[in-house]
Each structure stands twice: as C-alpha cells, then as structure tokens.
Amino acid sequence: MEVADVVERISGKMEAKGIAVDRSRIESKIRRLVEEFGVQLAEAERTVMNELAREHSLPSPGTRAQEREIQGLAVGEWVTVQGKVVALTSPRTPAIAQAGILADPSGAIRFTVWAKAKAQPLSVGKWYRIESAVVDEFRSAEQLKIHSGTTISEVENETSLIPKMIPVRDLRPGVGSVRVKVVQEWESSHERMLQAGLLGDETGTIKFTIWREEGKEKLIPGAVYAIYYALVDEFNGRLQLNLSTAVYLPEEGEIRVAEGEAARGVIVHLAPGSGLIKRCPVEGCNRVLSRQNYCPVHEIQKDFRYDLRIKGVLDDGIRTRNILVQRDIVETLSGMKLEEAVALGESSPLGMDEVFYRIRDAVLGRYFQVRGSEFDGRILVKECQKIAFDPGDLAALLNRAGGEAQ
C-alpha cells in the first residue's frame, strides 16, 4: 500500500459525502505520521480519516466500521459487509467495471463496481471486506454500489456458504436460490437464448431463461434442481429467473408443483352471469346464451346446455382479483348439484335468479383460498378452499398487537 493510494481513498470517502478536500494537506498529514512518528500506514489512515470526520462533524468512521449482514440491508444505507463473490456478470455499460453477486451466510446481493472507483478486480470464489459501499436500487432490485470511496480488501474466510432456499412465491427482485422442478420448456425466442421455460415448486411457478454462455447446460424437463444464486428480475410486473449467474445441480425427489396463481380473500361480489347459465350447443362454440336463448354467433338455440359458474371478485383488503369458478367447484361451494339447480331454475317463480341468490348466500362474504391460472385479468379457479380458523394465527396476532403496547 502506498501513501498515494491512502490519500486517494480518504479523499474519495470525503468527496462521496460532498466535502471538498485538499489532497496535498492529507498527504502531508499522512507523511508526517508515517515518516516522523513511525506510525503504520493503516493507523495513519485511520487517524487522518477520524480527524477529517471531526473537522466536518461527520460521525466518526471508527477503526473498523461495523460489519453488516447482507440480509436486511436497506436502500440508501452506507454499509460495510464481508462476503464471497459467487458470480460475475457482464456489465451493462462501460461505466461499470464489474458486476456480480456477493453472498454471506445471511443472503446474497447484486453488486456493481463503477469504473470510476478504480477498484482492484474481484475474483469469483474469493472473500472480500467491502467498506463504505452504498445500497441502491436498480430495476427494483437492491444492489451494492462500489464507488471511489469504497475500500475493498481480500480476506481469508473458510466459511462454506449454504444458500437459503426461497419458496418461489416469496422471491423478490435481486438474487434467489430455489429448489424447483422444470415444468415446461419453451421454444427459444432469441438465438442467444439457450433455454427458456417454467420452473415451479409447491408455492408457485416462475419463468426462467438461460443465455448461451461457455459451460452452460440446459435443464432437463421434468427433473428437480437446486438452483443457487440466480438473478431475479422484474419484467412487465412479473418476476423471472435468469440462470446466467446460477449454479444448478440435479436433485433427488419429486415436487408437487402448485399450478398457477394463488390468492386469498373474501368473495365480495358476484357479477351478473353467475349462477345457472345456458350455453350454445353448437360444437366448439359454448358461448353463454342470453335469457332469450340467443347466441351472439349462432342466434337462437333451443337445445342449449345448462352450466353453473361464478364470475366474482376476491378481495384481500388491499387488492381485488376477478375469479371465474367452474361447475364442479360451484357445486361443492353451494352444496347444489347442476340437476338441482336446473330443477330450481325451472320451477321457481324467480327462475334462474333463484339459483343466483342461493349461490350468493352460500359464498358472498366468506374467506377462500383459490388457485388457478390467470388469463385476461381473471383467475380461472382450479382449486378453491374455505379458509379455516387457525388458533396459531390468533396467538401470533396477539403477540404482534401486544408486543409493544403491553
């Protein structure tokens, strides 16, 4: 380490905080301590840094800044972390010297080293202490920004990292490790793309892509994998996994993949068109007929088929989702078979409205958990369960409510 490096680093740190410094003054202070008083360079750096911090009434940087766990870093913080570089990615602009993923036992975060930082190149598999980096956000993912005021030092660390597996439903933009099954393989839409498709676990599914790169292999459809340190990106409001940085290993066992979207909430509305309906009998049509048995395409149809369905709104208090529930589930929820509904509709003075009211009274204002695929802004419900009261929830909420007040 040279005096000039130290001067540059101190100046960088101060300038990053918006304070102009006089490099020659810092150099003379350092030289005085080192050459006249025989102080070690690292100690001289600390002394001068503290002195400057006091001069400008900044919080004292201390000898060694408090190291933080990667898990729990928040956007806007200045932090010091120690972690292992588990992957490098190709920088998206020449202004960035290096980009990749830094991991510690608590989690992993993306990092970018700005070219201006003139930092030493980082290598995959090595541990570093990164002092005074800034956490910021790029495309909703947190990342560690390494700038000219950041100090990087390689450290010896033998800790073996065991990445925490995250349920697909709980993935957030950033970095994620998952245990998943390859549900579908899609045709590549791009010549640089090696493979794309759908991965899933018990909690949900997510799109994945692997880009053509040296040593990258395709996933085998139907197989189960442990995927470590994949990039989780948000694209058009949906998450996807980019396996360019990831290590993936085949795993034993089987996963029962949850199909489609899951949602919980209360059915707060039954739209017109719910209940007993008539469908057009023309092969391949199946459209819903009006009360006058009119099909928008095939006109009057007297030999219609009856069907049951719910077009409704599921509301969790924050967000509303449109749901479409098919006959078999409507039968279970309402306790009324199609034949009974038809008999009721044909005999009641209210006609088909009576069936609508029966179904409404059975489901409206009740809590349900539904699962199904989303199509055109509507969940086509394949599974629907009434939510049951769980005493564990009550105990947890009592703690949460009483935790601070009592």
By CB under 8 A, tell whether 238 contacts other proteins.
no
Q: What gap in Å lies between CA 243 and CA 193, rounded to an integer?
A: 11
Shortest distance in whole angstroms from residue 314 CB to other proteins: 10
With CB under 8 A as the contact rule, the residue among 124, 271, 282, 343 that binds other proteins is 271
Q: Which is nearer to other proteins, 41 or 313 (CB)?
A: 313
Residues 316-375 that bind other proteins (CB under 8 A): 316-320, 352-353, 356-357, 360-361, 364-367
Cβ proximity to other proteins, 18 vs 272, nearer residue: 272
Residue 355 burial (C-beta neighbours within 10 Å; 0-12, 13-18, 19+): buried
Closest by CA to 61, choosing from 34, 77, 39, 80, is 80
**DSSP secondary structure code for residue 164 in this structure:** P
CB 372 within 8 A of CB 390: no
Q: How far is the CB of 367 from other proteins (least distance, A)?
A: 5
* DSSP-based three-state secondary structure for 48: helix
# residues contacting other proteins (CB under 8 A): 42
**Which class for 309: exposed (0-12), middle (13-18), buried (19 or more C-beta within 10 A)?**
buried
- Cβ atoms 229, 175 nearer than 8 A: yes
Assess contact for 377 and 326: CB atoms under 8 A.
Answer: no
Q: How far is the CB of 67 from other proteins (least distance, A)?
A: 28
Least separation, in Å, of the C-beta of 377 and other proteins? 8
**Which positions ≥6 away from 272 have C-beta within 8 Å?**
311
- Please list, in sequence order, all residues whose beta carbon lies within 8 angstroms of the beta carbon of residue 22, skipping any fewer than 6 positions away: none
Instruction: Give CA torsion, residues 149, 152, 153, 155, to 10 deg.
Output: 140
In the block, tokens 């560690």 appear at 144
CB of 379 to other proteins, least distance (A): 14
Ranges within 186-205 binding other proteins (CB under 8 A) = none
For the bound state, the minimum distance from the C-beta of residue 368 to other proteins, rounded and expressed in Å, comes to: 11
269, 279, 327, 337: which one contacts other proteins (CB under 8 A)?
A: 269
Q: How far is the CB of 324 from other proteins (least distance, A)?
A: 14
Residue numbers 288-317 binding other proteins by CB under 8 A: 290-291, 313, 315-317
Stretch of 25-33, 208-216, 252-260, 268-276 lying at the interface with other proteins (CB under 8 A): 268-276
Tokens of residue 399, six digits: 């703690």
Q: Determine the interface stretch with other proteins among 80-88, 100-108, 181-189, 397-405 (rule: CB under 8 A).
A: 397-405
Angle between the N-to-C axes of helices 327-334 and 352-363, in degrees from 0 to 180, rounded to the nearest 10:
70
Element (H, E) at 163: none
Among 221, 273, 296, 335, binds other proteins (CB under 8 A): 273
Least separation in angstroms between CB 405 and other proteins:
4
Three-state SS for 32?
A: helix
Q: Which residue of 275, 309, 330, 381 would you call a contact of other proteins, by CB under 8 A?
A: 275
Q: Which is nearer to other proteins, 100 or 275 (CB)?
A: 275
- Return the range that interacts with other proteins (CB under 8 A); candidates 41-49, 247-255, 296-304, 392-400: 392-400
CB 226 within 8 A of CB 165: yes
Two tokens at 371? 């699962």
- The residue among 256 and 400 lying less far from other proteins, judged by its C-beta, is 400
Query: Distance (Å, rounded) from C-alpha 340 to C-alpha 356?
Result: 13
Q: How far is the CB of 323 from other proteins (least distance, A)?
A: 12
Give the interface with other proteins as residue ranges (CB under 8 A). Answer: 266, 268-269, 271-275, 290-291, 313, 315-320, 352-353, 356-357, 360-361, 364-367, 387-389, 391, 393-395, 397-398, 400-402, 404-406
